[in-house]
Structure 1
Amino acid sequence: MTTSTAMAGVLDTLTALETTWRAGDADAYAALHAPDATYVAFDGTLMTGREEIAAGHRPLFDGIMKGSRLAMVERHVHFPAPGTAVVVQRAGIIMRWQKGRSTPSRKRLSTSTTILCPDGATWAVTAFQNTRYRPWTETVMGRLMTRSAKRPS
């Protein structure tokens, strides 16, 4: 498999994740993951396997996340070995009531790492880890600590 073919396959899967999220289809979203995939949500919740991933997303898609969409801000794809893609991306959720937005609010930004491997003719997510994007220097504690570090002693 060439790198360009692999890249196209990975991007197809990432696009399908966005499409199934927007459709609110927990089963289709989970089907894009390997049967034994690990999924760590922004709050630290661990889901293992397609069934847990679907079960974890179903109430979200039926509730607060209904009508929401994933929005990519930046993405870096790396192939550390044949048949393995590591994707680090900054993205976020645009809620259904934020219709005019094309980018997620700062409050909803996350940085995630997604590992994909070939699964037949497609690529499947084998591991996903999501972390809210909160630069230390932008937090109250970070600003206080940075300010005190800049003071002469």
Structure 2
Amino acid sequence: MDAAVHEREAAAVRERFEAHRLAWGDADGYGRSFAEGADYLTYYGGRLAGREGIVEGHRGLFAGVLKGSRLWAEITDLEFLAPDVALLHARGAVLKGKRTRPGRRALSVQTYVMTREPAGGWLIRAFQNTRYRPRVEALAGALARLAPKAG
């Protein structure tokens, strides 16, 4: 992919990502970010299958416990695996009340696989949301440093 095409496609992927973030709270609007056969893995390990499953899985949340909440999200890495496949890593959190930024304990790390549709737009084909635990990350890093070196 040449540089101009890469920049144009990266901008289109980022635009879809932002539209997805802004659609939070509207189950149908949120669902439009996903491909028909999308997979959505929640931070607690649940799986929502297909666009309709994702929409219905969020409808009750948006009417209940997540009513009035907002989605904070930012892309931390974007890579094209193929001309029509983008891999994104992001951080995200649900904001409630007057919060404008998430606390460390509210952060999740997220993986998105986006595919370009035949009509040219980008949609989310797979999404995984994992709660970020800085203490667990620090412990895992310390244990890795203590492991015997191969060789």
Task: State the TM-score, normalized to the length of structure 2.
Answer: 0.83
Runs ≥4 residues deviating over 4 A: none
Contact kept, 8 Å, 1:94 with 1:105, in 2: the verdict is: no
Contact kept, 8 Å, 2:21 with 2:73, in 1: the verdict is: no
1:72-95 Cα shifts (integer Å, max 9, x gaps):
255211112211110001121111
* Consecutive unaligned residues in structure 1, runs of 5 or more: none
* Consecutive unaligned residues in structure 2, runs of 5 or more: 147-151
Whether 1:10 aligns to 2:13 is yes
1:7-45 Cα shifts (integer Å, max 9, x gaps):
111011111111110xx1111111210000000011111
Counterpart of 1:48 in structure 2 is: 49
Contact kept, 8 Å, 2:31 with 2:54, in 1: the verdict is: yes
Task: State the TM-score, normalized to the length of structure 1.
Answer: 0.82
1:50 and 1:138, CA in 2 relative to 1: closer, same or farther beyond 3 A?
closer
Contact kept, 8 Å, 2:79 with 2:87, in 1: the verdict is: yes
Give 1:107 shift: 2.2
Separation of aligned partners in 2, 1:17 and 1:131: 18
Separation of aligned partners in 1, 2:107 and 2:31: 22
Whether 1:90 aligns to 2:91 is yes
Whether 1:63 aligns to 2:61 is no
Counterpart of 1:115 in structure 2 is: 113
Counterpart of 1:125 in structure 2 is: 124
Aligned length: 139
1:74 and 1:87, CA in 2 relative to 1: closer, same or farther beyond 3 A?
closer
Contact kept, 8 Å, 1:77 with 1:87, in 2: the verdict is: yes
Q: Identity, % of aligned pairs?
A: 37
1:125 and 1:138, CA in 2 relative to 1: closer, same or farther beyond 3 A?
closer
Separation of aligned partners in 2, 1:126 and 1:26: 17
The root-mean-square deviation of aligned C-alpha atoms, in Å, is: 2.1
Contact kept, 8 Å, 2:75 with 2:88, in 1: the verdict is: no
